Structure 1
Amino acid sequence: MEVEHFSHPDHPLILINQVLEYSCELVICSGCEGPIWGPCYSCTSCYFFLHKTCAELPCEIKRLIHPRHPLHLLEKPPSHYTKCVCDRCDKTCKSFVYHCSFCKFDLDIKCAFPPGFLEVDSQFAHKDHPLILDEEQEYHGEGVTCSVCKEPMSGPSYRCTPCNFFLHKKCAELPPEIKRRHFHPEHPLVLLPNEDVICDFCNETCYENFVYCCFVCEFTLHIKCAFPPCIDAADHNHFRRLLNPLSLKSISFTCNACGTDGDDSPFGCTMCQLVVHKKCISLPRTLKTALHHHPQIIHTYHPQQCIKSINKYCGICRREVDTEYGVYYCPDCDFVAHVNCSREFGDYETETAGQSVTVDDQFMEPSFRVVREIKHGEERIIEEIEHFSHQHNLILNDKVDDDLKCDGCMLPISTPFYSCASCNFFLDKTCIELPRRKKWQNNENRLILSWSPGEHYLFSCVVCKQYFRGLRYTCDMCELSIDVRCFKSILKDSTKHGGHEHPLYLPAGRKSILRCNIGGRRAPPWVADDGEIIPHCSGCCVTEESKVFLKCAVCDFKLGMKCATLPYKARHEYDDHPLFLTYINENDYQPSCIICEKDRDPKLWFYRCEQCDFDAHTECALGKYPYVKLGGVRTYRNHPHPLALVDKTGDYRPQGCVACGEPCDDLALECTDPNCSFIVHRQRRQCTDPLFKQ
């Protein structure tokens, strides 16, 4: 890692992790003038070195010994000084110094920080021997205490027998740095050796060997105060009313449990520094909700410690979540929700025989049976399977061809997939791993993974309103049918799409489209009403017919499901190379479609081949039926030859239908015998009915 440091402006400094030795000479830090034994920053052009700790010192600090002004870090004493003396230890300062220009006050960097701050290069000062983990809760003997917290030893521990050195497992695994917004929100607190300092929270002397300290503000916390035991307690007996209700006095506050404002006599915990509504004292620890596909969501007062990403939006109402206050979150994914939203659309988590009853566990039947597998150590590779959608076994294959499409979702295959050795049939791993039965948060009934019963049977997806053939999820109660391509896109609470920088969320169209029964509750705020004006899609600028679209919670970006599920890669007979979905081309001076030779709107998405400078409308590149597999030869009782499914939308001289006489300029069933001119409309019932009659 390369950095620029104010003390050495001529050249950048490079981080070196190993111990330095130059001609058996001791390497000296230019910041504190101490020897360097561990990681440091070095200049490759000059003989200049800095301890990693010295290089990362804050530029400004505040100290109780000089409370009037902040102290600023200088690489050496001011030039007008004849001699710089530390105002704390009276020693001469020759290198880095913290200086106040108003008061001519100076602090040596060793005096500016807690004892041991600059010297400690590991979390715990026991380097002579390795520490051995003992998981057994054995008795260590009377008077044996932990070397960190000074409490008696019990439970799992680390120990060094030659030195009679013991650590609780939880103490040995203390984080080297923490953030405690209720105690000290300005800066992080660092774990440092202790020399009988006073805790700034409880005002008691810290007798532990280590404390958490802010080296910018000299703020110190006991380990016990840094991790109060009652925050995650199952009961709420630690909450007490802060104001006497008989006094009728109320205060304005923000509840730490739910993040909403209150104007009442609140309850609080002085140890945890939490202020809550009376109704929030009894918040359930866990909830389950039909609006999230994982089994449970958990309440926390400290989202910043549980959630990796700070920019979060409620998975129910899609509005921003303030991570300074309590929320419900999912431990298995990035789902987070307001407390009030979770209470309205959640149920108490029930437990049976010590195990929670989850929504997913009831319907996780796999869609395939393993025929043959191999093992490499702990890795399990399934080589051959029997899938319900195909009559033959499928073999694992990793030779990806640009022209191959998955028969389950009709998207190009780009990962290891399963194929049939006898037929032209392929399924990618994402389709193979789909469960046969699935409980989905947008439908009260279970959805069943189904397969088209015949070669020429097509279905219309309720989400994207496009015809498709392949795998689909269906609901027995409401005849809902969802293409697995759409289902995989809307299954998650949020989706990251290459065409937009922010996460996209699903406002799920009409209640009757995606939801059978909401269980007596009102629809979530992201379900559109029948009278709502559906926005134009930002990808194609067309109004979304199905009222199902992905919406950005940050800006006004909206994406229809037809565009949201466009394949990243496509093929067309006019170009020898793959075409890639492109969202913007800054050099698009004269945009036009090579296929239809009409102008393109440069603001709308298109497919492009960089090698050939080939641009095309999405509908021109994919065709009218991109998710329908043509061919599918089938024999009908009332025609002597096999018929195949064909697309006549691109034919300039379409043949006439033998049933109605009109041109077949869409999907049609055509005879495979070259000497027979039989062709019939596929989508006109009056034309195809005679074929199905017995």
Structure 2
Amino acid sequence: MEVEHFCHPDHPLILINQILEYSCELVICSGCEGPIWGPCYSCTSCYFFLHKKCAELPREIKRRLHRRHPLHLLAKSPYEGNYRCNRCDKSFNCFVYHCSFCKFDLDIKCAFQPGFLEVDSQAHQFAHKDHPLILNEEQEYHGEGVVCSVCKEPMSGPSYSCISCNFLLHKKCAELPPEIKRHIHPEHPLRLLPNHHMICGFCKETCCESFVYCCFVCEFNLHIKCAFPPCVYAADQDKGHQFRSLLNPRSLKSISFTCNACGTDGDDSPFGCTMCQLVVHEECISLPGTLKTALHHHPQIIHTYQLQQGIESINKYCGICRREVDTEYGVYYCPDCDFVAHVKCSIEYGDSATEIVEENEEEQSVTVDGQFMEPSFRVVREIKRGEERIIEEIEHFSHQHNLILNDKVDDDLKCDGCMLPISTPFYSCASCNFFLDKTCIELPRRKKWQNHENQLILSYNQGSHDLYQCDVCKQDFRGLRYTCDVCGLWIDVRCFKSILEDSFKHGGHEHPLYLPADRKNILRCSNGGRGFAPWETDDGEIIPHCSGCCVSEESRVFFKCVVCDFKLGMKCATLPCKAIRHEYDDHPLFLTYINENDYQPSCIICEEDRDPKLWFYRCEECDFDAHPECALGKLPYVKPGVVVTFRKHPHPIALVDKTEDYRPQEKKACDTCGEPCDGLALECTDPNCSFIVHRKRRQCWKSLIW
């Protein structure tokens, strides 16, 4: 890639993917004066280098540090000699953002440095709107009299400060949410406003802080300390709340209430926390703060009385029963992903599937997501670029040669692990046509799946023409698979990546999709064979056709949408978004969900009409439309080209695809049955040998073995 850059107008700059040394010298960027380890632009005519990120800096920026005018990127200081940055007061002689009107300068590190982020919060606008506030993560303030301008508490830890005047804010005070909801006032949200000596509706004291949370409808106020009481945070560690009965022990009267811990109605004697105004069932006082469940792939789910700002999930449906969750009340949520669950659902599955997570430092050092993670590769060579660790060469169990990190993508390449079009970064073999994308490399050798009783093992048959049928999607495949030693279960890693999560967002539908999570549908090991039992709806009927292809799949494994009547079979759920180029078109084909044309569409490959409501593959540039089965072929997840040596044949044998589109003169007759070889075949690689047999007919190719 060649570009012309304003800082080096005499010669064009060429993009280099990686550079480690140049004439045995450390290569320095002319833009930031830092060492270059990764992608960069260089001049082939002279000694000039730029980091890729430095070459792509915007020519103009605006910063609250200098509100009057925009700052323009210059190749060097407009002054004689070195210049000084107005932010850090250090001198440099490289790229600078400059204002010619005010003689204001920012070096590029200060212009984009994460440690000096500017705050633009509601608290900042109310308390100190004249100047920007800069984040300082490390500075400690000592001595008496140095207090936060909002809460009036002593300053310590991360803070925001004004470089123009003596104004300081705790980081937590500067980043107060503009709106909150609290159990003490559930009817309306409370908004952050400047304080005008208001009376707190909880403690009945005059608010002394600079801010207060107010309800415009009810004129209800909460000052900051009551809006964020200490036990609200302690409750996440299953301690801090002091519950007591809200009724006189001598009274037999019961009251109706909604439990803040589990979100269900109660009609008995409630218990409450007077500080936080929480009302709970007696049995909910002892709810475990942390649970471990087999129905979720992460190690723990955490109980909270209300999802707060910053951890609130976009998912409003229970990960177990798939019904709507009211996050204004108590739920269990996953700190690592978008998973929430009703308290009752989590506890119901706790008898045999959940347990309190115990801290074990030794176990955590060798586990990820609560299970032992044995890597599927060994590192042969790696480099460090600053703090980044890059693995350049590996030894993977699935291949006899070492694999090298690669970033040169070819639209016709397939990953030998998942058989999908390759994407960067990926690893390739320098000796043969073998590729693995990064997601397949990172798959653990052993994995516990929440929908199966036993641990699954990542497997691959080297040097084999064997085909397997996935027990989830019922399609033939080659490549990596997860297997169970007890029941012989086979799951293609392409399917496994889709069903590993509790839900996933597909480009063909606007809402999250889920696999049914009922315990009866867990795939159990037995001697009676393997595979999924039919998924059933609540009324006992088999789930209807897939919304992507309008076919009732043999596997009966469907993703369901809890918002609308959308169901997606595994075949459609795992279709590649980008298909490898078809011989009838020069460009890759992309999976398309909606036909925007008004005319009756047809498939260019088979020349038959398409249903405009069903998914298809399309090339916009060529106006090329095709059925998914036509675009991908009969065996889309089988990669031809594997070469194997058999004892019964003197030459190596290759797996080839003799499709129906081959011209008659190119079709060879099977050496065993005499019929033309259409589809997958085993063909001799020696050009002087015409041996070929059908692959899918056992009676044709068994002579190679016996």
Q: Same fold (TM over 0.5)?
A: yes
Shift in CA distance, 650/144, structure 1 to aligned 2, threshold 3 Å = closer
Q: Which amino acid aligns with 1:349?
A: I
Helix, strand or coil for the counterpart of 2:401?
coil
Contact 1:366 1:436 in 2 (8 A): yes
Q: Of 262, 272, 280, which aligns to 1:276? A: 280
Partner Cα separation in structure 1 for residue 554 and residue 191 of structure 2: 54
Shift in CA distance, 144/240, structure 1 to aligned 2, threshold 3 Å = farther
Shift in CA distance, 393/603, structure 1 to aligned 2, threshold 3 Å = same
In the TM superposition, what is the alpha-carbon distance from 1:688 to its structure 2 partner? 3.4
Shift in CA distance, 216/524, structure 1 to aligned 2, threshold 3 Å = farther
Partner of 1:603: 613
Partner of 2:394: 385
Shift in CA distance, 205/356, structure 1 to aligned 2, threshold 3 Å = farther
Shift in CA distance, 662/228, structure 1 to aligned 2, threshold 3 Å = same
Helix, strand or coil for the counterpart of 2:221?
strand
1:376 corresponds to 2:385:
yes
Shift in CA distance, 198/484, structure 1 to aligned 2, threshold 3 Å = same
How do 1:101-500 residues align onto structure 2 when only pairs under 5 Å count?
121=125, 123=127, 149=151, 172=173, 175=176, 177-184=178-185, 185-190=187-192, 192-193=194-195, 195=197, 197-208=198-209, 210-214=211-215, 218-231=219-232, 232-233=234-235, 234-235=238-239, 238-244=242-248, 246-305=250-309, 307-346=311-350, 347-352=354-359, 360-500=369-509
Helix, strand or coil for the counterpart of 1:281?
helix
Partner Cα separation in structure 2 for residue 429 and residue 227 of structure 1: 43
Q: For each residue in 1:135-162, what CA deviation from the matched residue of structure 2 results, as whole angstroms up to 9, or x when unmatched? A: 8898x67x998765566x59758699xx
Shift in CA distance, 371/127, structure 1 to aligned 2, threshold 3 Å = same
Partner of 1:617: 627
Partner Cα separation in structure 1 for residue 694 and residue 585 of structure 2: 30
Q: Which amino acid aligns with 2:607?
A: E
Partner of 2:694: 681
Partner of 1:581: 591
Contact 1:548 1:560 in 2 (8 A): yes
Partner of 2:573: 564
Partner Cα separation in structure 2 for residue 216 and residue 471 of structure 1: 60
Partner of 1:106: none
Structure 1 unaligned blocks of 5 or more: 1-14, 22-116, 518-522
Helix, strand or coil for the counterpart of 2:225?
helix
Partner of 1:644: 654
Q: For each residue in 1:459-479, what CA deviation from the matched residue of structure 2 results, as whole angstroms up to 9, or x when unmatched? A: 111111111111111122221
Contact 2:398 2:462 in 1 (8 A): no
Q: What TM-score do you get using the length of structure 2 for normalisation?
A: 0.72
Larger radius of gyration: 1
Contact 2:515 2:559 in 1 (8 A): yes
Contact 2:680 2:694 in 1 (8 A): yes
Partner of 2:682: 669
Contact 2:315 2:339 in 1 (8 A): no
How do 1:38-77 residues align onto structure 2 when only pairs under 5 Å count?
none
Partner Cα separation in structure 1 for residue 149 and residue 271 of structure 2: 37
Partner Cα separation in structure 1 for residue 123 and residue 248 of structure 2: 50
Helix, strand or coil for the counterpart of 1:198?
coil
Q: For each residue in 1:181-229, what CA deviation from the matched residue of structure 2 results, as whole angstroms up to 9, or x when unmatched? A: 323442333153453x321222223344554344675432132211122
Q: For each residue in 1:359-408, what CA deviation from the matched residue of structure 2 results, as whole angstroms up to 9, or x when unmatched? A: 73532222222222222221222222221111111111111111111111
Helix, strand or coil for the counterpart of 1:384?
strand
In the TM superposition, what is the alpha-carbon distance from 1:295 to its structure 2 partner? 1.1
Q: Which amino acid aligns with 1:221?
A: L
Partner Cα separation in structure 1 for residue 268 and residue 620 of structure 2: 64
Greater Cα shift, 174-183 or 485-494: 174-183
In the TM superposition, what is the alpha-carbon distance from 1:599 to its structure 2 partner? 1.4
Q: Of 583, 596, 603, which aligns to 1:593? A: 603
Partner Cα separation in structure 1 for residue 135 and residue 522 of structure 2: 61
Partner Cα separation in structure 1 for residue 229 and residue 452 of structure 2: 41
Shift in CA distance, 119/574, structure 1 to aligned 2, threshold 3 Å = closer
Shift in CA distance, 372/528, structure 1 to aligned 2, threshold 3 Å = farther
In the TM superposition, what is the alpha-carbon distance from 1:337 to its structure 2 partner? 0.9
Partner of 1:627: 637
Contact 1:367 1:433 in 2 (8 A): yes
Number of residues paired by the alignment?
Answer: 575
Shift in CA distance, 566/209, structure 1 to aligned 2, threshold 3 Å = closer
Q: Which amino acid aligns with 1:280?
A: C
In the TM superposition, what is the alpha-carbon distance from 1:134 to its structure 2 partner? 7.5
Greater Cα shift, 242-251 or 476-485: 242-251
Shift in CA distance, 662/528, structure 1 to aligned 2, threshold 3 Å = farther
In the TM superposition, what is the alpha-carbon distance from 1:638 to its structure 2 partner? 1.9
Partner Cα separation in structure 2 for residue 643 and residue 484 of structure 1: 26
Structure 2 unaligned blocks of 5 or more: 1-61, 70-120, 527-531
Contact 1:288 1:349 in 2 (8 A): yes
Contact 2:406 2:424 in 1 (8 A): no
In the TM superposition, what is the alpha-carbon distance from 1:533 to its structure 2 partner? 0.6
Partner Cα separation in structure 2 for residue 128 and residue 508 of structure 1: 50
In the TM superposition, what is the alpha-carbon distance from 1:319 to its structure 2 partner? 1.5
Shift in CA distance, 247/531, structure 1 to aligned 2, threshold 3 Å = same
Partner Cα separation in structure 1 for residue 627 and residue 251 of structure 2: 72
Partner Cα separation in structure 2 for residue 662 and residue 250 of structure 1: 84
In the TM superposition, what is the alpha-carbon distance from 1:684 to its structure 2 partner? 3.5
Contact 1:464 1:486 in 2 (8 A): yes
Q: For each residue in 1:463-497, what CA deviation from the matched residue of structure 2 results, as whole angstroms up to 9, or x when unmatched? A: 11111111111122221111111111111221111
Q: Which amino acid aligns with 1:477?
A: V
1:692 corresponds to 2:705:
yes
Partner of 1:9: none
Contact 1:158 1:169 in 2 (8 A): yes
Contact 2:399 2:462 in 1 (8 A): no
Helix, strand or coil for the counterpart of 2:571?
helix
Greater Cα shift, 652-661 or 175-184: 652-661
Partner Cα separation in structure 1 for residue 363 and residue 323 of structure 2: 29
In the TM superposition, what is the alpha-carbon distance from 1:674 to its structure 2 partner? 5.0
Partner Cα separation in structure 2 for residue 386 and residue 444 of structure 1: 30
Helix, strand or coil for the counterpart of 2:260?
coil
Shift in CA distance, 422/527, structure 1 to aligned 2, threshold 3 Å = farther
Shift in CA distance, 622/119, structure 1 to aligned 2, threshold 3 Å = closer
Shift in CA distance, 130/168, structure 1 to aligned 2, threshold 3 Å = closer
Shift in CA distance, 150/673, structure 1 to aligned 2, threshold 3 Å = closer
Q: What TM-score do you get using the length of structure 1 for normalisation?
A: 0.74
Greater Cα shift, 356-365 or 492-501: 356-365
In the TM superposition, what is the alpha-carbon distance from 1:623 to its structure 2 partner? 0.7
Partner Cα separation in structure 1 for residue 243 and residue 510 of structure 2: 43
Contact 1:194 1:208 in 2 (8 A): no
Partner Cα separation in structure 2 for residue 290 and residue 187 of structure 1: 36
